[in-house]
């Protein structure tokens, strides 16, 4: 937990072309997560504190022994889009160039690999043709499988601000999201049916004369095959409507708008990529853009919205198992010898390695015996994560480089290496529009912490490859990376940083954000948009239509597991929350795992708002708070991906998503799990607050850890009744001083005060809705001596003289639902007026959809 007051707040860079200085609430809270608390500060070997020399010997020894005994493929690297390009480059080079193992993959496999594969199929290379400005210039913005309001909030603010007269937005997502606020048309399609919708669009464009035939003739190939497949799969609007479970009118409206709007951008994200048909979905979208000649033009193009800070950089260095390096695949002509010559090695891996899901299966089987995981938390994020944990537990040597000490993956590591985190590391990242930005270090490296590139290079040195890994600083690596991209590149490879090869150290430090390709001299081109001239990077320079013959995933639900499980992100948490959970204000929006479900299902299944529900699949379970959401389709639930075993008893979403992958990209299906659902029958619910660093002895069937500003807290619940007076001292870490017990109401409250300071509070109720908010109590923990009035108010859990703000809606200014409700009741009728009165929504803006929703709800209630 951070003390927000001791660190300087973070500000955006007003000159950066991507955000113009705007930050989302996670970015604006970064300073609360950069402390040393919870950090991994020194190497650990089998649980024992170690030093670098010994830890590096252990890593090098394990790799060497495994290669000698079992061959190079027994060693695997699992990398991440959290790494900087320089880190990534060095890891890829060591594994593929010197250890001769092709088993290098990255968490981008779970994220962008379907988009990568779709780009390669259509354009000949993994290229996002457009840029962010296109999302502003578009007259029709289609957002497919993207909740940008929460997942790309800064870009979303740009899209929103750019709404010019007549601009339309279509959101394609099975559930209503914060992003649908922007939608003129929301297509809540049956999950997985995007290929039908876009196949249908292609055949409709043909029927209606909406094709750009000259463009197709001059710049594309294989159109006829694509059209035949589209017509077979989606012959007419009626068939599309039926398969996608949409109304005919809505489908037709979308098709008409698409046909009549030259400036159309289709932004797509995980609702497209994370699917058994992810690559086909991507190509079905790109097909429609090619058919209308809308690629790489201002305000027109398909636009893959990338997730991680540096997913793109990882794609550029070749971190995916099927690529070699610098946008060259193993089978690109001459690639292996070119790369071997450049690196000065004869040990380049022979061919593509195992993709993430298969890689962990090979670990499970015992074929992979050493795995080095850097900057990712696969015990939480891979599908069927229960099996992934078994695989890691079985694996003879698991090496984990992370900046955080306790994660679900580090718990299974034999060797733990302390890596530098944001603010401490130095290098470059690339964003969705191919823009390379410097990330500059401004904090010292704490304790024994080292940057990832240093750790990997040091292991390379121990293995005898020091000459090829003799890097003194990130600039050395970047120049080499740029040089490889330009090496023997006469325009065949569009990823080319020739213009950055000769950067001096000072140039590198001062590097301004720049989009690739970056060519030199007379070859200088404008990299803002690519392919505008209709010349692609396939062999014959024509873009390829792809025939989409996807057989729709058969209904995966069954009598035992009837609910469709959709998983995704929430506004204020990042992935497995190893860092965002350190900022208490980021937990204020949603503090617990939850299940969003339609009220018809709630009624049918006896689920109650605010109580707990239990989702099960095989022997695994997910327990979360029930949230009624009529933006859910009946029969489908949405659960967040962020909670893990460090923060909740049963909050891991991936136990409900099975290891099913896209046949082309290998990307796992993460949006379409299945489960049985029931109320989690608790005889009591509680909230425990404890001053930090105190002994805690308690156990409950359900718990969820919520760090607060001045204390630690847990939501708890139990199936069996407990005699509170007996259990109390254990739970509070000593004698309770203030106690209130009302067994008839199932209500119990206790607090412990030591030397005048609040030490612990426990609140129990059979109805969780009656448990008070912890905000006021949290502040009481900071009082050096608890005042008499606070003491009296302890059991009410709030200062009775001050209004209770309610659940926090605006994280930036900590404005709660009750305050907003009161303002609306008092006549405030717009988001702007709310902002004037309470400041909510005036910083990052990501709560605006919820503010608008509250205003609308109150209007419709009054009506
Ligand atoms: N707050 C926050 N922001 C983040 C992240 C984070 O952890 N937290 N992570 C970053 C990363 S790495 C990524 S990859 C991005 C992801 O960004 P997004 O892809 O926007 O986020 P998700 O919530 O994973 O999924 C998007 C939507 O896909 C919908 N969906 C599910 N099934 C289907 C389907 O069959 N068809 C369609 N069309 N839609 C479907 C879901 O209902 C969901 O609303 O976010 C990035 N930004
Ligand atoms: N069911 C389901 N599963 C999903 C998804 C989904 O939508 N649904 N989304 C998928 C997607 S798109 C993604 S991107 C993944 C994300 O899943 P992960 O990659 O597993 O998630 P993170 O929490 O980002 O893990 C990053 C880890 O790296 C550490 N770290 C941070 N910075 C550094 C650094 O500089 N160096 C090192 N060595 N370590 C660092 C963090 O502490 C953390 O432990 O999850 C995927 N899994
Ligand atoms: Mo991602």
Ligand 2: residue whose CA is nearest its atom 17: 381
Identify which of 152-166, 388-402, 554-568 has the greatest average pLDDT: 388-402
Tell me what the pLDDT averaged over the chain comes to. Answer: 92
Please indicate, yes or no, whether residues 207 and 315 belong to a single structural domain of this protein. Answer: no
Least confident span in 88-97, 427-436, 512-521 = 512-521
Residue whose CB lies within 8 A of the most ligand 2 atoms, among 147, 376, 456, 645, for a mutation test: 376
Cα of 365 vs centre of ligand 1, distance in Å, is 32
Please indicate, yes or no, whether residues 464 and 568 belong to a single structural domain of this protein. Answer: no
pLDDT of 322 over the 70 cut? yes
603 burial via Cβ count (<10 Å: 0-12, 13-18, 19+): exposed
Cα of 760 vs centre of ligand 3, distance in Å, is 39
Which of 473, 492, 520 finishes a domain? 473
- Quote the CA–CA distance of 679 and 697 in Å, as a whole number: 27
Ligand 1: residue whose CA is nearest its atom 8: 574
Name the nearest CA neighbour of 283 among 396, 114, 415.
114
- Return the pLDDT at 356: 97
Cα of 783 vs centre of ligand 2, distance in Å, is 37
Q: How many CB atoms lie within 10 A of CB 155?
A: 24
Beta bridge partners of 303: 267
- Return the pLDDT at 5: 40
**What DSSP string describes 143-192?**
EES--HHHHSHHHHHHHHHT--TT-EEEEE-SS--GGGGG-SEEE-PPTT
Per the structure, the complete domain to which residue 439 belongs is given by 40-111+310-321+331-473
Cα of 271 vs centre of ligand 2, distance in Å, is 18
Pocket of ligand 2 (CB under 6 A): 80, 82-83, 107, 110-111, 270, 274, 307-308, 374-378, 380-381, 401-404, 407, 419, 421, 425, 452, 567-568, 575-576, 578-579, 641, 653-654, 657, 670
pLDDT of 6 over the 80 cut? no
Please indicate, yes or no, whether residues 150 and 280 belong to a single structural domain of this protein. Answer: yes
- Residues 561, 563, 569, 570: what is their CA dihedral angle, to the nearest 10 degrees? -120
Least confident span in 22-36, 148-162, 200-214, 551-565 = 22-36
Please indicate, yes or no, whether residues 230 and 241 belong to a single structural domain of this protein. Answer: yes
Answer whether residue 352 is part of any domain.
yes
Please indicate, yes or no, whether residues 711 and 607 belong to a single structural domain of this protein. Answer: no
Helix axes 335-343, 474-486, angle to 10 degrees: 150
Cα of 144 vs centre of ligand 3, distance in Å, is 15
pLDDT of 347 over the 80 cut? yes
Cα of 145 vs centre of ligand 1, distance in Å, is 7
pTM: 0.93
Least confident span in 195-199, 245-249, 307-311 = 307-311
316 burial via Cβ count (<10 Å: 0-12, 13-18, 19+): buried
Answer whether residue 539 is part of any domain.
no
Answer whether residue 505 is part of any domain.
no
Please indicate, yes or no, whether residues 288 and 163 belong to a single structural domain of this protein. Answer: yes
Ligand 2: residue whose CA is nearest its atom 28: 375
Q: Could you tell me the pLDDT band of residue 24, with boundaries at 50, 70 and 90?
A: confident
Ligand 2: residue whose CA is nearest its atom 11: 111
Please indicate, yes or no, whether residues 52 and 140 belong to a single structural domain of this protein. Answer: no
Q: For the chain, how many structural domains are there in total?
A: 6
Cα of 116 vs centre of ligand 1, distance in Å, is 17
Percent residues over pLDDT 90 in the chain = 75
pLDDT of 438 over the 90 cut? yes
Please indicate, yes or no, whether residues 289 and 209 belong to a single structural domain of this protein. Answer: yes
Answer whether residue 274 is part of any domain.
yes
| CATH number, domain containing residue 826 | 1.10.10.1100
Q: Could you tell me the pLDDT band of residue 800, with boundaries at 50, 70 and 90?
A: low
Number of H helices, E strands in the chain: 29, 33
Identify which of 166-175, 775-784, 818-827 has the greatest average pLDDT: 166-175
Answer whether residue 504 is part of any domain.
no
Please indicate, yes or no, whether residues 291 and 316 belong to a single structural domain of this protein. Answer: no
Pocket of ligand 1 (CB under 6 A): 111, 144-148, 150-151, 172-175, 177, 191-192, 194, 269-271, 307-308, 566, 568-569, 571, 573-575, 671
- Return the pLDDT at 323: 94
Please indicate, yes or no, whether residues 341 and 428 belong to a single structural domain of this protein. Answer: yes
pLDDT of 583 over the 90 cut? no
**Where do we find the tokens 């951008």?**
265
Average pLDDT (749-755) is 91
Question: What are the tens digits of pLDDT across the range 677-720?
Answer: 999 999 999 999 998 765 566 789 999 999 999 999 999 999 99
Answer whether residue 266 is part of any domain.
yes
Please indicate, yes or no, whether residues 131 and 207 belong to a single structural domain of this protein. Answer: yes
Answer whether residue 547 is part of any domain.
no
Please indicate, yes or no, whether residues 261 and 378 belong to a single structural domain of this protein. Answer: no
Answer whether residue 531 is part of any domain.
no
Q: Could you tell me the pLDDT band of residue 214, with boundaries at 50, 70 and 90?
A: very high
Exposure string over 8-24, b if 16+ CB within 10 A, otherwise e: eebebeeeebbbeebbb
- Return the pLDDT at 553: 60
pLDDT of 123 over the 70 cut? yes
């Amino acid at each position: 937990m951070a003390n927000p007051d001791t660190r300087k707040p973070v500000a955006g860079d007003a000159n950066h072309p991507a955000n113009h200085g705007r930050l989302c609430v996670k970015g604006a809270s970064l300073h609360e997560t950069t402390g040393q608390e919870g950090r991994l500060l020194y190497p650990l070997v089998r649980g024992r504190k170690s030093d670098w020399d010994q830890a590096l010997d252990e890593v090098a020894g394990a790799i060497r022994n495994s290669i000698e005994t079992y061959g190079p493929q027994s060693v695997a690297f699992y990398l991440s889009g959290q790494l900087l390009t320089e880190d990534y480059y060095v890891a890829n080079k060591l594994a593929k160039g010197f250890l001769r193992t092709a088993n290098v993959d990255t968490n981008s496999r779970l994220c962008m690999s379907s988009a990568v594969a779709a780009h390669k199929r259509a354009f000949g290379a993994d290229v996002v043709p457009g840029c962010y400005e296109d999302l502003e210039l578009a007259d029709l913005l289609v957002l497919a499988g993207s909740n940008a309001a929460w997942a790309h909030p800064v870009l979303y603010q740009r899209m929103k601000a750019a709404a010019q007269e007549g601009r339309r937005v279509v959101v394609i997502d099975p559930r209503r999201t914060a992003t649908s606020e922007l939608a003129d048309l929301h297509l809540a399609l049956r999950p997985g049916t995007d290929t039908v919708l876009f196949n249908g669009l292609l055949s409709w464009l043909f029927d209606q004369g909406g094709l750009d035939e000259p463009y197709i003739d001059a710049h594309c190939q294989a159109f006829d095959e694509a059209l035949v497949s589209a017509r077979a799969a989606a012959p007419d609007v009626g068939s599309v409507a039926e398969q996608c479970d949409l109304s005919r009118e809505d489908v037709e409206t979308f098709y008409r708008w698409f046909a009549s709007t030259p400036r159309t951008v289709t932004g797509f994200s995980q609702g497209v990529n994370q699917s058994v048909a992810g690559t086909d979905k991507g190509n079905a979208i790109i097909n429609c853009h090619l058919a209308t000649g809308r690629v790489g033009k201002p305000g027109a193009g398909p636009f893959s919205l990338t997730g991680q800070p540096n997913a793109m950089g990882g794609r550029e260095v070749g971190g995916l198992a099927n690529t070699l390096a610098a946008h060259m695949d193993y089978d690109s002509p001459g690639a292996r010898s070119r790369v071997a010559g450049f690196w000065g090695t004869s040990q380049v891996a022979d061919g593509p390695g195992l993709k993430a899901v298969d890689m962990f299966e090979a670990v499970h089987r015992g074929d992979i015996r050493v795995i080095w995981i850097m900057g990712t938390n696969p015990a939480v994020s891979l599908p069927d994560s229960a099996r992934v944990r078994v695989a890691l537990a079985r694996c003879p040597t698991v090496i984990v480089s992370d900046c955080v000490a306790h994660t679900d993956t580090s718990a299974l590591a034999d060797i733990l290496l302390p890596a530098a985190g944001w603010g401490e590391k130095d290098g470059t990242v690339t964003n969705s529009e191919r823009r390379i930005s410097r990330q500059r270090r401004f904090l010292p490296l704490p304790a024994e912490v080292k940057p990832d590139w240093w750790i990997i290079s040091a292991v390379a040195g121990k293995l005898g490859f020091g000459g090829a890994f003799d890097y003194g600083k990130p600039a050395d690596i970047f120049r080499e990376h740029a040089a490889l991209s330009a090496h023997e590149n006469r325009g065949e490879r569009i990823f080319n940083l020739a213009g950055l090869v000769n950067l001096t150290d000072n140039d590198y430090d001062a590097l301004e954000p720049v989009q690739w390709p970056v060519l030199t001299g007379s070859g200088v081109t404008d990299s803002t948009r690519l392919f505008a001239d209709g010349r692609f990077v396939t062999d014959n320079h024509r873009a390829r239509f792809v025939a989409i013959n996807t057989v729709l995933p058969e209904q995966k639900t069954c009598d035992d597991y009837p609910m469709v499980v959709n998983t995704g992100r929430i506004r204020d948490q990042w992935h497995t929350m190893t860092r965002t959970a350190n900022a208490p204000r980021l937990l204020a929006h949603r503090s617990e795992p939850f299940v969003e479900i339609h009220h018809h299902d709630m009624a049918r299944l006896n689920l109650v708002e605010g109580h707990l529900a239990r989702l099960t699949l095989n022997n695994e379970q997910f327990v979360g708070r029930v949230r009624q959401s009529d933006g859910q389709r009946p029969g489908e639930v949405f659960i967040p991906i962020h909670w893990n075993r460090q923060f909740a008893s049963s909050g891991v979403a991936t136990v409900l998503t099975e290891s099913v992958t896209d046949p082309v990209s290998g990307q796992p299906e993460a949006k379409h799990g299945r489960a049985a659902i029931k109320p989690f029958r608790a005889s009591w619910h509680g909230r425990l607050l404890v001053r930090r660093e105190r002994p805690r002895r308690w156990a409950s069937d359900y718990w969820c850890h919520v760090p607060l500003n001045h204390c630690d807290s847990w939501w708890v619940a139990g199936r069996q009744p407990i005699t509170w007076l007996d259990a109390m001292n254990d739970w509070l870490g000593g004698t309770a001083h203030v106690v209130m017990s009302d067994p008839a109401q199932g209500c119990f409250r206790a607090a412990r005060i030591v030397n005048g300071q609040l030490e612990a509070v426990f609140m129990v109720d059979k109805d969780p809705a009656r448990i008070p908010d912890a905000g006021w109590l949290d502040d009481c923990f900071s009082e050096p001596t608890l005042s008499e009035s606070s003491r009296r108010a302890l059991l009410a859990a709030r200062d009775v003289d001050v209004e209770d703000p309610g659940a926090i809606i605006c994280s930036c200014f900590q404005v709660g639902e009750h305050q907003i409700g009161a303002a609306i009741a008092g006549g405030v009728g717009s988001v702007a007026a709310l902002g004037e009165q309470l400041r909510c929504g005036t910083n990052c803006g990501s709560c605006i959809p919820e503010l608008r929703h509250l205003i609308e709800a109150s209007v419709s209630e009054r009506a």
